[in-house]
């Protein structure tokens, strides 16, 4: 039963994932923490951090980790299949249909409406994670420093993560 619940929960998340993995984070939080109670908010933030550090899309990595944490190997398979299935079907349909209608005025208008909504969902994910991850002034300083480095330099994001980890070791050790 838990495998079907994982598949359906992540299938629902996958259906409404216009905009990518970060857009899914509020949906995952609602479904996994609020609706099913499979994880705490702190566990969710840890899983998102792990999913960010591992290669691959954050949505798939998160589904895999959450599925594994909830129901082991088969849970990870069910959650991953659930989150991937809608995109797979949509990509196959879109490849045949969208190519023919992409330049149509109403399709462009729809994408014009979706872009701001995607930005709102990404901002919501940032706020959601920030409320749990930034617990003190030092964490706020690390977050602000990382943001400024991303904004003002050409440093690779991995280097910024390394600097943030070093700052965490120095501050929290």
- The string of pLDDT tens digits covering residues 52-78 is 888 778 888 889 999 999 999 999 999
Structural Rg of the chain based on CA atoms:
18
pTM: 0.61
What token pair was written down for 105?
């005025």
What are the sequence ranges of the domains in the chain? 2-104
Confidence of residue 19 (pLDDT cuts 50, 70, 90): low
Confidence of residue 100 (pLDDT cuts 50, 70, 90): confident
Supply the mean pLDDT for the chain.
Answer: 89
Query: Up-side HSE of residue 101: CA atoms within 13 Å toward CB?
Result: 11
Tens of pLDDT, residue by residue over 107-120, are 889 989 999 999 99
What token pair was written down for 95?
């490849």
């Amino acid at each position: 039963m838990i495998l079907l619940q994982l598949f359906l929960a992540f299938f629902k998340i996958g259906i409404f994932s216009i905009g990518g993995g970060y857009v899914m984070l509020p949906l995952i939080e609602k479904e996994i923490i609020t609706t099913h109670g499979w994880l705490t908010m702190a566990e969710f933030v840890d899983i998102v951090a792990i999913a960010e550090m591992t290669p691959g899309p954050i949505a798939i990595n998160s589904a895999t980790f959450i599925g594994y944490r909830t129901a082991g190997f088969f849970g990870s398979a069910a959650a991953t299949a659930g989150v991937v299935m809608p995109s797979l079907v949509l990509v196959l349909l879109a490849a045949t249909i969208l190519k023919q209608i992409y330049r149509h005025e109403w399709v462009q208008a729809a994408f014009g409406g979706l872009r701001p909504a995607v930005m709102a969902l990404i901002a919501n994910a940032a706020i959601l994670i920030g409320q749990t991850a930034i617990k003190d002034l030092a964490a706020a300083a690390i977050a602000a420093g990382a943001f400024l480095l991303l904004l003002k330099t050409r440093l690779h994001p991995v280097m910024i993560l390394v600097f943030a980890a070093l700052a965490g070791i120095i501050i929290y050790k």
